[in-house]
Amino acid sequence: MAERIDPDRIADGAPLPILEGFSGILFIGDPHVAAYPPGHRTDDYRAAVLGKLAYCLEEARKRELLPVILGDLFHVPRDNPNGLLVELMELFRPVRPWVLVGNHDKHEARLTRDVSLAVLDAAQVIVLLDRPGPAATLRLGSTRVLLGASPDWTDIPSAVEPCGHDKVIWITHHNVSFPDYDAGRIALREIPGVDLVVNGHIHTPKPPQRRGRTLWINPGSLTRITRSAVTRTVRPAAAVWTPETPEPVRLDVPHAPFDEVFPPLDESLTATDDTPDASRFIRGLENLALRKTTEGVGLKTFLEANLDPLDPVTPIIWNLYEEVMDRVAKS
């Protein structure tokens, strides 16, 4: 069980920062910034994701909202091109968003000084939320809000003492058991003292869930990476919370149509009873060559669906796949 959190007791002894001049918070889910198209994307992904971030930060500026990124700012934790880091510095410097540490932001499950997130932190263009606990007091007009954080792989508190705050908002990056999310491991529950939990990590938006006094929301990812029937229905968005709104309000983010950023479904790959397995396999590889992805996601999915685990050749093919992808990752 996670410990009860008292905002007067800060881990490093530093006073809790007090933020003023905002009317609310803009929650931005999992941007997955990358210099190349991740997953199944085939478009100019770098320009697309930076454009979405720029839109969100401009909306935050116009509406006087504190921008908070819910983890996974980066798709890969390190070795991102210097040019990309410079673009992010230029984008973030005027607003200095608060950024929660997600699983994709860490190398080998650790936040080290050589990851890209640490570079932005050292450049002082973000406020890094890398430890669990209270993060700041927000004075939103007459409303005092305690903002707390649980980065990836840290405990979500069992209770929080408001200590005179009118509202307590906690941000997380966890496998929370929202409906229709099979990977959920953390049960939705009331957290005494917490009014709102805003979760990242789960890319598909989920309906708000209330447990006692605590409302849990999951706005979803700012970007679409996986090509699927579910992703086709997803519209990238952020979430706006102000003291006047009982629940965060969706902010639609401009984005390209699904069919412009993902390869179309290839109907010719539909198997028929009279098509030899080998012929279907070769045809499948030919089609994959026409719609390659940088990370080899399509190839991996194809091999998983078509290779026989009992065939002695299968381990050889998988070893070749892993060797090729390792070289791609290092290039």
> String of b and e for 305-328 (b: at least 16 CB within 10 Å)?
eebeeeeeeeeeeeeeeeeeeeee
Sort 92 into a burial class: Cβ within 10 Å, 0-12 / 13-18 / 19+. buried
pLDDT digit string (tens) for 147-204? 999 999 999 999 999 999 999 999 999 999 999 898 899 999 999 999 999 999 999 9
Q: What is the CATH number of the domain that holds 143?
A: 3.60.21.10
pLDDT digit string (tens) for 83-130? 999 999 999 999 999 999 999 999 988 999 999 999 999 999 999 999
134 and 220 part of one domain: yes
pTM: 0.82
111 and 238 part of one domain: yes
Q: Which of 232, 258, 284 is the last residue of a domain?
A: 258
Mean of per-residue pLDDT scores for the chain: 87
Cα–Cα distance for residue pair 138/145, rounded to 1 Å: 5
127 and 147 part of one domain: yes
pLDDT of residue 39: 85
Q: Are 29 and 70 in contact (CB under 8 A)?
A: yes
179 and 273 part of one domain: no
Q: Which of 221, 240, 258 is the last residue of a domain?
A: 258
pLDDT of residue 135: 97
Residues of the chain with pLDDT > 70: what percent?
Answer: 82
Note down the domain range covering 305. Answer: 263-330
pLDDT digit string (tens) for 54-70? 999 999 999 999 999 99
User: How many domains, in total, are found in the chain?
Assistant: 2
219 and 245 part of one domain: yes
Q: Which of 239, 258, 277 is the last residue of a domain?
A: 258
* Residue 226 confidence (pLDDT) above 80: yes
